[in-house]
A = this chain, B = another copy of it.
Amino acid sequence: MRFIVADWGTTRFRAYLIESEMVLDEVSSGEGVSALKPGQHRDVFMRHGGRWLEAEPNAPVLLVGMVGSREGWVMAPYASCPAGPAEIAKAMIPVDLGNGRRAHIVPGLFCEPAPGASDVMRGEETLALGSGVADGLVCAPGTHPKWIEMRDGRIERFATYMTGEMYALLREHSMIGRPATEPEDPKGFDLGLDAAERNNGKKGERAGLLHLLFGARAAVVSGRMETGLLGPYLSGLLTGDEINGALSQFRRPSKVTILADAPRADLYVRALARHGIATEVKASRNALIAGLARIVRHVPAN
């Protein structure tokens, strides 16, 4: 079965012509949703994907990612957890491509990690469905990393951490990260993981992330930390604290499947190894396409 998809995020537009899970053709551009005004989305899609629509008159079309957010083409309301391919496909929102063709926007997911609390994702639900994990814990690193619990091939619940955005805030705008210099000394990452252990909640250890972050500045201004260590240190501390939280929120797994490319995935592999947890790494593009292939089976005939 052939189908056409666009992975349409905040900063990038990427479209694929797919047969089963094989990419036959692809195109990408910088026309992410943050670069577009209302009314421009159809033209962008047709310019890149129009030739596929002509060549494949019966191929379903899926759009995934921030294209379904308030700032996207059409707001696709969040579906609720637990959700599998069928529930997600049922909540898709159609948009008109002209000539009787429609595209279907994959909705994001909402879950309630605690009574009254909220969490959302938009795009990672598709990665998780394509992770190959039917029962277990999946981690999708990024600006806002997601930890996703799979059960019976559906997304049971998930938790998001602002790790990547926090790292950028600290490096670009904060007194804490400002003294960092290059070249970076990668040993800082492990020192940051060490520091995160002081906030793991076990044995009464609960120093507080806000304290441990200030400690990085204190170590630099008191001459105890070389400034080349500081960037990796902050990365290790934040990643370690994310993992502390995830291992507390989800039943501690024997294995975590990480959906990321090499340099970032390697950091999670190292950090989880310290907890004695095995890891399996899958490229996020492959997971995305596999997830779309699971969802597309539930798309109504055009």
Contact = CB atoms under 8 A, between A and B. Distances in A.
A144 B208 CA distance: 13
B245 A211 contact: yes
A194 to B, nearest CB: 8
A1 interface: no
Given A118-B219, A195-B117, A198-B114, A210 B248 contact: no
A248 B218 contact: no
Contact of A238 (B116, B119, B210): B210
A241 B209 contact: yes
B162 A210 contact: yes
Contacts of A217: 162
Given A165-B175, A208-B209, 18 more contacts: A110-B222, A118-B218, A119-B215, A144-B214, A159-B211, A160-B211, A160-B218, A161-B214, A162-B214, A166-B210, A166-B213, A201-B201, A205-B248, A206-B244, A207-B248, A208-B244, A208-B245, A210-B242
Interface of A: 69-70, 78, 110, 113-114, 116-120, 144, 159-163, 165-166, 169-170, 172-176, 194-195, 198-201, 204-211, 213-215, 217-219, 221-222, 224-225, 238, 241-242, 244-246, 248-249
